[in-house]
Amino acid sequence: MNDYLYSFVIVDDEPEIREGIRDTIPWDTLGFTFKGAFANGKEALEYVEQNPPDVLITDINMPFMDGLVLSELVLQRSPKTKVLIISGYDDFEYARKALQLQVQDYIVKPITPGEFKETLRKLKEVLDKERAEEQDFERLKKQLAENLPLIKERFFNQLITGAIPAEELLERSTYLGLSLQSDLGAIHCIVLDFVQHHGGEGFDIDVLRVKNVIRHYLENSRGNQSVIHGWEIFSDDKNRLVLLTWGLEKQLLYQEDLKAAEQIYSQLITLQLPTLVIGIGEVITNLEILPKAFQDTIQALQIGQLQGKKGIITYRELGRADTSYKEIRPNWPQYIGSAIKTANMAQVYDTIDGMISDLQNKKFSLDQYHSLVERLAAVMVITFDELEIKEEDLFIKGSSPFLELSRLKTLDELRSWCCAVAESCIAIIRSRQTNFAEQKVKEALEYIQKHYTYSELSVQNLCKDLYISTSYFSAIIKNFTGKTFLELLTETRINKAKELLRTTTMKTFEIAEKVGYQDAHYFSITFKKVTGKSPSEYRSEHD
């Protein structure tokens, strides 16, 4: 429910009309508050100039100033006031003039109280609608003011990516209160990037602290104000901080910004803020090439980070196009994949170190590095597939080699990532090998128990039936049991022979044949070698 009361003023030289309207209308009920009644236009205008009402109703024919003149002057001084003309003249010319003045309504006397109330109800609907629209507009203006920093940041992000047409630049920058135009004397791009990104509130606080350090320096350094005519700092879509400065003279602006970067970096270290690297681009003289200048600065920054550089990195040192770029050895990714498949960690480390050393000792472009990383990610995926290793066993949900490699900033991080992935792969391979070996040893022991009575039983027979090589079997059986195949077979046969000597009256040669020995004499020699007694001596002791 709208409880707002609109102020109402009447102007009429006839007292009975003024007083009649004042006293017979239930103002509060209809949504109005009666503020005054005046006998002529001059008195009314003086009041309106000090206290503009929401509604003014006036007669036409009055002394000193008629209603039409009053209406015109009121609407000039208070355009929001709704003017109603009430007149005993049912004359088209008066009505035409009233319409030309854009009054709210033209009422012909006489008018009954009921008709007047209905006029007020309709007028209140108009006022309510306009007031709601005005409140909405003010609310939007307030929201706009509150969001202006975000709007400005979006504007600058569009500016550095070339998303703003040249014909819109002046209008949008003026709206945001920025002194930018396409033909600036000089504009400079500086990019600050955190060496280690971390999420959450802590990172946002660090960003604000760094911005405050930069703002404080630029606002309080007297020396740079004659060179730097304007500046803006904002975050790009990669959470890097971008500082744009502009002035009139290219060389002076570059020198001043380089000095500022050194001072700001020193302050950040003193305040023990998170480590940053600062990329210094080239000064340009036309905003239309700002996107390229920004990309050049990013390239210098990223190459510097990859090579382990810290502090301030300039495009002049690292980012210029150069035909002396050397080709990065294209088969490093394949070498790393092959080394992982051998499960030889020493070979893997050597190969990864070889790739990193190659990168450290060569001048390369960012495109070359990205191409190498993409091939490395592709080779890793193929290697995982060939080894039947699932990516979810190596990476967190939603991640992948391509995504993780794209986030690496230094060659040290690249080396650590490659080593970690290789170690995880080889751990899985070795775990599988161990499980396989354990299974085969178990099967071999069961095989010996089942076939020890066959005199022709050999390691070759066993390996053939278990589908493994004799060399592999010899290694794993010794590793898991500490004994050779022959030692296990002999132990099984002699233990069975002991049982038969204790529990049966079978002859020695019969027992020998029963446990897999064709030669009873060889059986006796073997039995004594294992137990220290002959078969007959052993039986005698256990009779």
Q: Assign residue 276 the CATH number of its domain.
A: 3.30.70.270
Whether residue 447 is contained in a domain is answered as: no
Q: How far apart are CA 254 and CA 186, in angstroms?
A: 9
343 and 260: one domain? no
Q: Is the separation of the CB atoms in 253 and 186 below 8 Å?
A: yes
Whether residue 353 is contained in a domain is answered as: yes
Side chain identity at residue 480, one-letter code: F
Give the rounded distance of the alpha carbon of 276 from its chain centre: 19
Of 45-49, 119-123, 219-223, 348-352, where does mean pLDDT reach its minimum? 219-223
166 and 305: one domain? yes
The pTM of the full predicted model, rounded to 2 decimals, is 0.53
The predicted pLDDT at position 321 comes to 43
Q: Where are the beta strands (DSSP E) in 195-333?
A: 228-235, 241-247, 276-280, 311-314
Nearest 5°: CA angle at 459, between 456 and 464?
95
93 and 23: one domain? yes
* DSSP assigned state of 391: G
Mean pLDDT in residue range 290-302: 89
482 and 394: one domain? no
Domain harbouring 508, CATH code: 1.10.10.60
3-state secondary structure of 231: strand
Give the DSSP per-residue string, 191-224. Answer: EEEESS---HHHHHHHHHHHHHHHHHHHHH-GGG
The predicted pLDDT at position 323 comes to 41
The predicted pLDDT at position 446 comes to 93
- Among 431, 463, 487, identify where a domain stops: 431
Nearest 5°: CA angle at 308, between 303 and 312?
70
pLDDT per position as a tens digit, 299-314: 888 888 887 778 898 8
- Among 292, 316, 340, identify where a domain stops: 316
511 and 422: one domain? no
The predicted pLDDT at position 326 comes to 54
Mean pLDDT in residue range 63-86: 89
pLDDT per position as a tens digit, 411-440: 888 999 999 999 999 888 888 888 888 889
pLDDT band at 493 (very low <50, low <70, confident <90, very high): very high
Which parts of 467-507 fold into alpha helices (H)?
470-481, 485-503
302 and 165: one domain? yes
Side chain identity at residue 212, one-letter code: N
Torsion of CA 538, 539, 540, 543, to 10 degrees: 130
The predicted pLDDT at position 453 comes to 92
300 and 355: one domain? no
Whether residue 83 is contained in a domain is answered as: yes
The predicted pLDDT at position 489 comes to 93
- Secondary structure element (H or E) that encloses residue 12, with its range: none
183 and 234: one domain? yes
pLDDT per position as a tens digit, 201-254: 888 888 899 999 999 998 887 666 778 888 899 999 888 999 999 888 889 999
The predicted pLDDT at position 1 comes to 45
Does the pLDDT at position 105 exceed 60?
yes
Whether residue 36 is contained in a domain is answered as: yes
pLDDT band at 124 (very low <50, low <70, confident <90, very high): very high
363 and 393: one domain? yes
Side chain identity at residue 60, one-letter code: I
The residues, any chain, with a CB within 8 Å of residue 503's CB and separated by 6 or more, are none
Does the pLDDT at position 482 exceed 50?
yes
18 and 116: one domain? yes
Q: How far apart are CA 353 and CA 472, in angstroms?
A: 32
Q: How far apart are CA 480 and CA 42, in angstroms?
A: 116
Q: What is the mean pLDDT of the chain?
A: 87
The residues, any chain, with a CB within 8 Å of residue 220's CB and separated by 6 or more, are none
427 and 522: one domain? no
Q: Is the separation of the CB atoms in 216 and 229 below 8 Å?
A: no
Give the residue numbers spanning the domain of 241: 161-316
Whether residue 155 is contained in a domain is answered as: no
Does the pLDDT at position 65 exceed 70?
yes
Domain harbouring 95, CATH code: 3.40.50.2300
- Secondary structure element (H or E) that encloses residue 128, with its range: helix 113-160
Percent of the chain predicted with pLDDT > 90 = 45
Give the rounded distance of the alpha carbon of 498 from its chain centre: 75
**Torsion region of 467: left, alpha or beta (phi above 0 gives left; psi -120 to 50 gives alpha):** left
Q: Residue 120 to residues 64, 105, 203: CA-CA distances in angstroms? A: 28, 11, 59
Domain count, the chain: 4
**Residue of 386, 302, 285 lying closest to 340 (CA atoms):** 386
Q: How far apart are CA 256 and CA 262, in angstroms?
A: 10
Does the pLDDT at position 110 exceed 60?
yes
Whether residue 322 is contained in a domain is answered as: no
The position carrying tokens 């706009």 is: 144
Mean pLDDT in residue range 474-501: 92
Does the pLDDT at position 322 exceed 50?
no
Of 330-339, 479-488, 506-515, where does mean pLDDT reach its minimum? 330-339
Percent of the chain predicted with pLDDT > 70 = 93
Neighbours of 248 (CB within 10 A): 13
238 and 300: one domain? yes
pLDDT per position as a tens digit, 144-184: 878 888 888 899 999 899 888 877 877 887 777 776 655 56
Does the pLDDT at position 82 exceed 90?
yes
Q: What are phi and psi of 27, to 5 degrees?
A: -55, -50
**Residue of 461, 488, 465 lying closest to 476 (CA atoms):** 488
The predicted pLDDT at position 350 comes to 93
3-state secondary structure of 519: coil
The predicted pLDDT at position 222 comes to 62
358 pairs with which residues across the strands?
none
pLDDT band at 324 (very low <50, low <70, confident <90, very high): very low
pLDDT band at 96 (very low <50, low <70, confident <90, very high): confident
Neighbours of 246 (CB within 10 A): 22
The tokens of 289 are what? 């090439």
The residues, any chain, with a CB within 8 Å of residue 27's CB and separated by 6 or more, are 5, 8, 33, 34
Whether residue 408 is contained in a domain is answered as: yes
pLDDT per position as a tens digit, 355-402: 998 888 877 778 888 888 898 999 999 999 988 888 888 888 888 899
Whether residue 498 is contained in a domain is answered as: yes
**Residue of 200, 191, 209 lying closest to 271 (CA atoms):** 209
The predicted pLDDT at position 368 comes to 84
